Chain A
Amino acid sequence: MASQPRSWDLEVDLVAVGSGLGAISAALTACDLGAEVVVLEKAPKLGGVSGYGGGEVFVPDNHKMRELGIEDSEAAGRQYLEFLSAGFADPALMDKLLSSMKTAVEYMERKAGVKWICIEGLPDYYHPMVPGAHPGGRYLSVDLFKGAELGEWQHKTYAMTPHVPPGALHREMYAWGGLAKVTQWDYELIGQRISEDLRSFGPGMMGYFIKAAMVDRGIPAHVETPVRELVAEDGVVVGVRAERDGRDFNVRARRGVVLAIGGYDNNLEMARQFEAMPDWNSACPPYLDGDNLVLGGELGAAVAAVPPTNLAMFYGYNIPGEEAEGKPLFRSSWECGCPHAIWVNQAGQRFCDESFYKDYQPRLRAWDGQQQRMPNLPPFLIFDQNYRDRYPLGSFMPGQPLPEGLVTQADTPRQLAEKLGIDADGLEATLKRYNEFAAKGEDPDFGRGRSSWSRRLVGDLDYPNPNVGALDKPPYFGVRLVPVSVGINSHGLKTNADAQVVHVRGHAISGFYAVGNSAALLDLGAGYQSGTSNMRAITWGYIAGLHALGKA
């Protein structure tokens, strides 16, 4: 913690640290209440992880559903989110989140011009397995955004991300057949949109937010300006010491500092200690260094946690030579949800519904107390020529040579197992059993195809069971997988229902707010559902902006 500098380089009402949804939502809200605001971003581009992801915002009973006549209710939404939380949520925070999320999202449309559209037909993760889950309509995304509207920020924001297809909308992606039918998408249309810098998914969403803040309202933003310390006086946060062009840049914050810089995805030591998952990798840009915990820790902020068991953790791979944002690019493996692909452990045995990542995460964390090890790590993706004939591996299309150094190939399952170093008898037995049931479109062992979300997103709807198909056509292929985190961490700063950071002694630290993935997931507990991270970033950013300006 820094003491007050002799002079401030800049004085504003609110400092938003970070430039993803949480920071920009807070900045917009405070600005609209008459506040002077500045945005400080460590990265060379604005947008944060929000601008690098899928751009789904999960809001039960949202206004776009209502416009389309899709029925839902707040009660059903609460029932579903309480199921997800598994009893680990703080009731006060969950209540505040649920009572504010629709207001916040609608505000961003009405005041900031964000063009939300409802992703029709995309079910909740647990539909139809649990009460309160919805068959489709709770996810919002944005309409295409014209990058040129960002003016000077056009090329200091993410125009696209390697994790989702550029220039396509969610509804188009599903209309074209989902991920399993990626060879049939309209690439002429996508190419045209790329040429015109028409953005979608996370980059498109952040385009709207950044335009509203930086272009329409003229809120100043500084990239490559990391905040190094918070400045406090008598326990109240009154500003920040940032670094800009190699020099201190001291900014006074008369009404508060909002920390919205994500978690510790790229801090391997924190990840190892907090997430207990070996071989950790991140799909996020390399700026999530755990600064939230360091900056807060220096002020005595409490750290809180939810179980890491079933948050958003994927498994995937790095194609040798592939890089993004100056580091190896790790892709989540969606292949395992398609027919003709499964996962096995080193015993050659399946252990989960591979098409549903909410099922595989906790099973990967299974612990063998006799052997003191996690028996399902590492998992191996196994597929056959049936798969190669139909579906891509990453961006490598059927018929295209597979990338060197990633995939192991063999003529028989036994030979493949031996090459991969897994139990050959086990793999042969697994394939024999899986294929017998696959012929009937069934998976009685782990229930592939049970989740309507999995069927819709990664399944091949030409199959009786979109997630099941036999592996019986040589050659056979295998890939050793590693964890790929997407920025949703189990530990974060403890906050209260006003988004204020809480001190280890239990009181709120005045002038200090944490939102988005910088704050612990106490509002949603042990659960995660695609779009909840963006939803809570918008909502808590909005709440922080209101509270800092005395309007909560």
Chain B
Amino acid sequence: MPEVEYTTTAKLRVDTVWEFVKEMDNWAHFVTGYQSHEKLDETDSVWTLKGDVGVLARTLKFQVHVTEWGGPERVTFELKGLNEEMSGGGLLLIQSDDAAGAGSADSAPGRGFLARWIEAVFRFFFRRVHGAVKRAPAADAGPGPGVAKLTFRLRIEPGGPMAPMISALMRPAMVPAAEDLANKIMAHLEARQAGA
């Protein structure tokens, strides 16, 4: 099953990041292919995205259930497809990391050169299509009040007989999508802090 993880850093307080992340309305529109979302209650929401499935784009609707509001450090969630057979989950992890180095992309372990290269090329086209944010991580960002490390981990497990094929189609798109969400959140907060 496709699983990706991306970590980036910013010269921000952990609390600042948490206050922003804990309210999904703040960052929902940063999610790749975002169409709409609806909060059902404190833990459940329904999301509609336009997602790339290989050579075509399709409207995906799924329910997200937050399994842990672990402020100010973590949100863990599960997801279930409403119009597609899929399930999965993930987490947003916010940590203090004063010694943080450059941001890094790191998806599922054990990937070969070919997979990394395909992802890199896919990332290039992704940025052309979605206008993804390119930003300097904390190590290059100059002095500030501290360093927060934001990690986004996402796992999606397609169901049905075509699952292995769908997984192969989705995997290259998930890495740049994870990077994009984390970077857009941090870029937004950095800009807000700079303007304050």
Using a CB–CB cutoff of 8 Å, the interface residues on chain A facing chain B are 148, 154-155, 158-162, 165-167, 183-185, 187-188, 190-192, 194-197, 319-324, 329, 395, 397, 399-401, 403-404
Contact = CB atoms under 8 A, between A and B. Distances in A.
A323 B161 contact: no
Contact of A397 (B83, B114, B160, B169): B160
A400 to B, nearest CB: 5
A195 B160 contact: no
Given A195-B171, A321-B58, A397 B165 contact: no
Interface in B49-94: 50, 54-59, 82-85
27 contacts: A148-B114, A154-B121, A155-B121, A155-B124, A155-B125, A159-B55, A165-B165, A167-B165, A167-B168, A187-B161, A187-B162, A187-B164, A187-B165, A191-B165, A191-B167, A191-B168, A195-B115, A197-B114, A321-B58, A322-B58, A322-B59, A323-B57, A324-B55, A397-B85, A399-B160, A400-B84, A401-B83
Given A148-B114, A160-B55, A191-B167, A403 B83 contact: yes
B118 interface: yes
B141 interface: no
| Residue of B85, B118, B171 with most chain A CB atoms under a 10 A cut-off | B118
A190 B165 contact: yes
Interface of B: 50, 54-59, 82-85, 114-115, 118, 121, 124-125, 160-165, 167-169, 171
Nearest to A321: B59
A319 B57 CA distance: 11
B164 A191 contact: yes
Contacts of B115: 195
Given A155-B121, A195-B115, A197-B118, A166 B54 contact: yes
A403 B59 CA distance: 10
Contact of A161 (B55, B114, B160): B55
Given A155-B121, A187-B161, A324 B57 contact: yes
A364 B176 CA distance: 46
Contact of A329 (B56, B164, B169): B56
Nearest to A329: B56
A324 B56 contact: yes
A440 B189 CA distance: 70
Contacts of B55: 158-162, 166, 324
B193 to A, nearest CB: 37
Given A194-B169, A324-B56, 10 more contacts: A166-B54, A192-B168, A195-B168, A196-B114, A321-B58, A322-B56, A323-B57, A397-B162, A403-B83, A404-B83
